[in-house]
């Protein structure tokens, strides 16, 4: 997403208006406010032009299959063509003085050129990536596939006049190779999109996403084309009778429609729908984090001084955006480390606007490492924290977060967090309830939060405090008394209890 969409009311990550019905979402007030914004975004969206050309190409294939004015038949033609993995014989050559063979062959060549253009437009749309980025490999495969189909289309006229079947076999071999290349490109798109999901919201793709449906149909059409061409190569006598390619063309068209549908979703045109799709969230009902632009540099840090190294990287690069800072603490850091001066005796990180830190391993460096670093981020606008704390005497609550972090960030307008605190207890410890800790967040104006306090054994207790909706993909050290909130993004779950968990617990929460 572009930075100028930060305050865009139509973006799903910024959508706060709740619609009680479809008619309320489609009132003139909403249409008048949103249509100009959506139209402007679509006009500037390179993917939209690529998807339009791609859809026209898919429609052209179906026209050759089903339009009598083009193929000279009354229905689906009996002869294969380029993207449909088929060629044309002499049966359509002269009918009422019209040479349908020439018409169909020329149209296939035109569609082949259009396919190459769409591939070039998709490559052009990836403006946030270097040409040698690994994520660009599927785009280059798409170019190769389009070029192979175009090359095959140029041989159709020769094959139609060749009684030996030699050129026809060559064409089907080329188209088989092209279908395999397209299959590999589809797998590449699926994997790159999965990477986008895991980097933005911490979970995999789902079938409520039009992009996922589009890639699935594209992959399926590749399998159909491969099967068709292999059948023709093995049984040339079935040529003209085997119409499997038509099913592939229809599947290909459905995929193209979903690509465009996903494009309209990304530009905000589907604000009236109850489900936004890509992020698996009901647009207009809850607020979620803005998706991260794939390709921006991620900071992967570790070792004995992860926080200090993170700070050093931010300063050296003068970065104004830290999309993900993953701190893989593989062992507990000592609280007696004297190197905290490295992160406290520095100037403010005035250029840092977005900071995200994820630490799956329990740590005891929160107070002497993380707090000094966060206090330097005085101009931070968005903060995401996932941390698990141990060796503390008290739970982290809203009052503590406000006094130690939030009051030092005057520009902060979005705070997504999950913080678990594990403390030792005995009979002298005052036992706080869920409501006690949740009230501390209400007192500082953070109402979209939840808290679960669990005294799961006689010697230890753990609290889980987190913002809503829950945007992370991991939950650990939870028991049977955990909240009944739906955690739609969680893919890794660790439970601990002496009481056996039942099926209804997992089924109703994850």
Q: Could you tell me which of 199, 192, 193 has the C-alpha nearest to residue 471?
A: 199
pLDDT digits (tens, 9 = 90+) for 434-463: 888 888 888 888 878 888 888 877 778 888
Arithmetic mean of pLDDT over the chain: 73
Cβ count near 30 (within 10 Å): 18
Looking at 21-30, 129-138, 147-156, which range is the least confident one?
Answer: 129-138
pLDDT reported for residue 253 = 95
Residue written as tokens 């179906």?
A: 62
For the chain, how big is the Rg over CA atoms in Å?
29
Cα 269 to Cα 477: distance, rounded to the nearest angstrom = 41
- The DSSP string of 370-432 is IHHHHHT-TT--EEEEEEEE-S-SS---HHHHHHHTGGG-TT--EEEEEEEEEEE--TTS---
**Contact present, 87 and 79 (Cβ < 8 Å):** yes
Q: For the residues 205-217, what does the mean pLDDT come to?
A: 75
**Contact present, 286 and 469 (Cβ < 8 Å):** yes
358 DSSP β-pair partners: 326, 386
Residue written as tokens 């930060």?
A: 6
More confident residue, 319 or 39: 39
Task: Compute CA 316 distance to the chain's CA centroid, rounded to the nearest angstrom.
Answer: 30
pLDDT digits (tens, 9 = 90+) for 257-310: 999 988 887 787 877 776 443 333 332 333 334 444 434 444 444 444 444 455
From its phi and psi, is residue 239 left (phi > 0), alpha (psi between -120 and 50) or beta?
beta
**Contact present, 87 and 168 (Cβ < 8 Å):** yes
Q: Could you tell me which of 479, 387, 403, 391 has the C-alpha nearest to residue 440?
A: 403
Q: How confident is the model at residue 160 (pLDDT cuts 50, 70, 90)?
A: low
Question: From residue 416, how far is each of 116, 139, 289, 294, 448 by CA, in Å?
Answer: 43, 34, 8, 20, 10
Supply the DSSP symbol for 13. T
- Say what angle helices 100-125 and 137-153 make with each other, to 10 degrees: 170
pLDDT reported for residue 256 = 93
Residue 257 token pair: 């429609």
Percent of the chain having pLDDT more than 90?
13
Q: Which residues are within 8 A (CB) of 279 and not within 5 positions of it... i.e. 6 or more apart?
A: 12, 13, 200, 201, 288, 291
For the ranges 191-195, 243-247, 352-356, 371-375, the one whose mean pLDDT is highest? 243-247
Residue 66 token pair: 């089903």
**Contact present, 370 and 387 (Cβ < 8 Å):** yes
Can you give the length of the chain in residues? Answer: 510
Q: How confident is the model at residue 162 (pLDDT cuts 50, 70, 90)?
A: low
pLDDT digits (tens, 9 = 90+) for 104-124: 788 888 999 999 999 999 888
More confident residue, 341 or 260: 260
Query: Would you state the torsion angle of the CA atoms of residues 6, 8, 11, 12, taken in this order, to the nearest 10 degrees?
Result: 80
Supply the DSSP symbol for 458. S
- Determine if the peptide bond prior to 469 is cis (ω within 30°): yes
Cα 156 to Cα 4: distance, rounded to the nearest angstrom = 49
| Domain boundaries defined on the chain | 41-266, 297-391, 414-510
Q: Is the pLDDT of residue 332 over 60?
A: no
pLDDT reported for residue 190 = 79
Q: Is the pLDDT of residue 417 over 80?
A: yes
pLDDT reported for residue 117 = 93
Handedness of CA 173, 174, 180, 183 (dihedral sign): negative
Residue 270 token pair: 């589907």
Q: How confident is the model at residue 483 (pLDDT cuts 50, 70, 90)?
A: low
Q: How confident is the model at residue 89 (pLDDT cuts 50, 70, 90)?
A: very low
Looking at 14-18, 39-43, 226-230, 492-496, which range is the least confident one?
Answer: 14-18
Residue written as tokens 């996403």?
A: 209
Q: Is the pLDDT of residue 137 over 80?
A: yes
Cβ count near 188 (within 10 Å): 20
For the ranges 174-178, 189-193, 423-427, the one whose mean pLDDT is highest? 174-178
pLDDT reported for residue 106 = 83
pLDDT reported for residue 224 = 94
More confident residue, 138 or 480: 138
Q: How confident is the model at residue 254 (pLDDT cuts 50, 70, 90)?
A: very high
Residue 424 token pair: 């030792």
Cα 112 to Cα 131: distance, rounded to the nearest angstrom = 24
For the ranges 66-70, 139-143, 298-302, 334-338, the one whose mean pLDDT is highest? 139-143
pLDDT reported for residue 181 = 92
Question: From residue 397, how far is each of 20, 294, 386, 439 by CA, in Å?
Answer: 34, 33, 14, 9
Cα 105 to Cα 101: distance, rounded to the nearest angstrom = 6
**Contact present, 458 and 429 (Cβ < 8 Å):** no
Residue written as tokens 């009996």?
A: 78
């Amino acid at each position: 997403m572009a930075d100028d969409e930060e305050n865009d009311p139509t973006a799903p990550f910024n959508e706060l208006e709740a619609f009680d019905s479809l008619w309320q979402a489609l009132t003139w007030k909403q249409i008048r406010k949103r249509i100009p914004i959506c139209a402007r975004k679509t006009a500037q969206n390179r993917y939209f032009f690529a998807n339009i050309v791609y859809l026209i190409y898919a429609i052209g294939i179906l026209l050759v299959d089903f339009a009598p004015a083009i193929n000279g038949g009354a229905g689906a033609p009996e002869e294969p063509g380029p993207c449909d993995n088929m060629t044309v014989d002499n049966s359509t050559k002269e009918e009422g003085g019209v040479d349908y063979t020439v018409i169909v062959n020329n149209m296939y060549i035109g569609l082949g050129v259009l396919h190459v253009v769409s591939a070039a437009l998709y490559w052009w749309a990836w403006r946030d990536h270097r040409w040698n980025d690994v994520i660009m490999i599927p785009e280059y495969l798409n170019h190769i596939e389009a070029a192979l189909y175009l090359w095959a289309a140029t041989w159709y006229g020769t094959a139609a006049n060749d009684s030996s079947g030699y050129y026809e076999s060559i064409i089907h071999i080329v188209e088989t190779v092209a279908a395999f290349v397209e299959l590999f490109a589809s797998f590449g798109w699926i994997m790159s999109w999965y990477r986008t999901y895991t980097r933005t919201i911490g979970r995999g793709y789902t079938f409520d996403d039009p992009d996922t449906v589009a890639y699935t149909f594209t992959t399926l059409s590749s399998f159909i084309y491969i099967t068709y061409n292999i059948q023709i190569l093995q049984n040339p006598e079935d040529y003209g009778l085997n119409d499997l390619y038509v099913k592939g063309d229809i599947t290909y068209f459905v995929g193209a429609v979903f690509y465009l549908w996903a494009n309209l979703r990304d530009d905000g045109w589907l604000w009236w729908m109850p489900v936004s799709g890509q992020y698996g969230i009901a647009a207009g009902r809850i607020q979620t984090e803005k998706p991260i632009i794939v390709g921006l540099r991620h900071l992967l840090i570790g070792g004995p001084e992860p926080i200090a190294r993170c700070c050093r990287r931010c300063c050296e690069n003068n970065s104004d955006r830290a999309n993900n800072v993953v701190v893989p603490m593989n062992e507990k850091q000592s609280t007696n480390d004297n190197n905290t001066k490295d992160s406290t005796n520095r100037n403010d990180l005035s250029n840092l606007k977005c900071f995200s830190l994820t630490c799956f391993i329990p740590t005891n460096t929160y107070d002497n490492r993380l707090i000094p670093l966060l206090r330097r981020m005085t101009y931070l606008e968005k903060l995401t924290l996932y941390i698990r704390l141990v060796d503390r005497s008290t739970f982290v609550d809203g009052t503590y977060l406000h006094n130690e972090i939030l009051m030092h960030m005057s520009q902060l307008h979005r705070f997504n967090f999950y913080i678990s605190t594990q403390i030792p207890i005995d009979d002298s410890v005052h036992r706080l309830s869920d409501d006690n800790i949740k009230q501390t967040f209400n007192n500082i104006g953070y109402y979209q939060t939840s808290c679960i306090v669990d005294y799961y054994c006689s010697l230890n207790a753990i609290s889980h405090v987190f913002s809503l909706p829950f945007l992370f993909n991991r939950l650990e050290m939870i028991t049977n008394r955990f909240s009944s909130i739906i955690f739609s993004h969680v893919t890794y779950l660790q439970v601990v209890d002496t009481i056996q968990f039942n099926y209804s617990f997992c089924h109703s929460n994850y």
